[in-house]
Structure 1
Amino acid sequence: MNKSSLKVVAIGGGTGLSTMLRGIKKYTSDITAIVTVSDNGGGSGILREEMNMVPPGDIRNCLVALANTEPIMKQLLQYRFKEGTLKGQNFGNLFLAALADLSGNFEKAVQVTSNVLAITGKVLPVTLENVQLYATFEDDTCVEGETQIVDYSKAHHKMITNIRLEPRNPKPAEAVIEAIEEAEMILLGPGSLYTSIVPNLLIDEVAQAIRTSRAQKIYIANMMSQPGETTGFTVENHIEELEKYIGVGTIDTVIVNNENIPEEYLKKYMEDGAHMLSFDAQHPIWKLIKRIEAPLVRINHEKEYIRHNQEKLAEYIFDDF
Structure 2
Amino acid sequence: MEKDHPGIVFFSGGTALAGLSGQLAKVNPECSYIITTFDSGGSSAKLRSIFDMPAVGDIRNRLISIADTSEPEKANIVKLLNTRFSPYGDKKDLTGELQHLANGTHPLMEDLSDVVRNILSNLFAVFLELSADEFDPAKACLGNIILAAGFMVHKRVLAPPIAQFSRLVRARGIVRAASLDSGHLAVRLQNGEIIAGQHLFTGKEVPPVPSPIDGMWSCSDIDDPWPRSVHASSLAMMLIKEADLIVYPMGSFYSSILASLIPKGMGQAVSRNSCPKIFIPNLGYDPELLGHDVPLQIEKLLEVLRMDNPAEIKKESVLSAVLIDSANGDYQDGLNLDVLKTLGIKILDCKLVSEKYDGLIDPDLLAPILMKLAGQKDL
* Offset, 1:25: 1.9
Q: 2:363 aligns with which of 307, 310, 321?
A: 310
Question: Which aligned pairs between 1:191-210 and structure 2 lie closer than 5 A?
Answer: 191-210=251-270
Question: Which aligned pairs between 1:166-205 and structure 2 lie closer than 5 A?
Answer: 166-167=219-220, 168-205=228-265
Question: Which aligned pairs between 1:105-254 and structure 2 lie closer than 5 A?
Answer: 105-151=157-203, 154-167=207-220, 168-227=228-287, 229-247=288-306, 248-249=315-316, 250-254=318-322
Q: Which moved more, 1:191-200 or 1:83-92?
A: 83-92
* Offset, 1:127: 0.8
Deviation string 1:13-60 (CA, Å, 9 cap, x unpaired) is 111233331122233221221101111111112111112122111000
SS in 2 for 1:9: strand
- Matched with 1:271 is none
Q: Does the CA contact (< 8 Å) of 1:222 and 1:277 recur in 2?
A: no
SS in 2 for 1:72: helix
SS in 2 for 1:175: helix
Greater Rg over alpha carbons, structure = 2
**AA matched with 1:87:** A
Gaps of at least 5 residues in structure 1 are: 267-273
Is residue 2:65 matched to residue 1:65?
yes
* Offset, 1:234: 2.0
Is residue 2:346 matched to residue 1:295?
no
Q: CA RMSD in A?
A: 2.6
Q: 2:150 aligns with which of 83, 95, 99?
A: 99
Distance change >3 Å, CA 285–CA 61, structure 1 → 2: farther
- Matched with 2:324 is 256
For 1:79 and 1:135, how far apart are their aligned partners in 2?
Answer: 32
Q: Which moved more, 1:32-41 or 1:289-298?
A: 289-298
The two structures have a TM-score, normalised by structure 2, of 0.73
Q: Does the CA contact (< 8 Å) of 2:201 and 2:208 recur in 1?
A: no
SS in 2 for 1:140: coil
Q: Does the CA contact (< 8 Å) of 1:223 and 1:277 recur in 2?
A: no
Q: Does the CA contact (< 8 Å) of 2:232 and 2:264 recur in 1?
A: no
Is residue 2:139 matched to residue 1:88?
yes
**AA matched with 2:296:** N
For 2:3 and 2:359, how far apart are their aligned partners in 1?
Answer: 29
Question: Which aligned pairs between 1:17-96 and structure 2 lie closer than 5 A?
Answer: 17-69=17-69, 70-82=74-86, 83-85=89-91, 86-96=137-147
Distance change >3 Å, CA 88–CA 299, structure 1 → 2: farther
Distance change >3 Å, CA 284–CA 46, structure 1 → 2: same
Identity %: 22
SS in 2 for 1:19: helix
Distance change >3 Å, CA 114–CA 277, structure 1 → 2: farther
Gaps of at least 5 residues in structure 2 are: 92-136, 221-227, 307-314
Deviation string 1:100-153 (CA, Å, 9 cap, x unpaired) is 222223221111111111112221111111111011111211110000122499
Distance change >3 Å, CA 299–CA 41, structure 1 → 2: farther
* Offset, 1:63: 0.6
- Matched with 2:13 is 13
**AA matched with 2:202:** V
> Which is richer in strand?
1
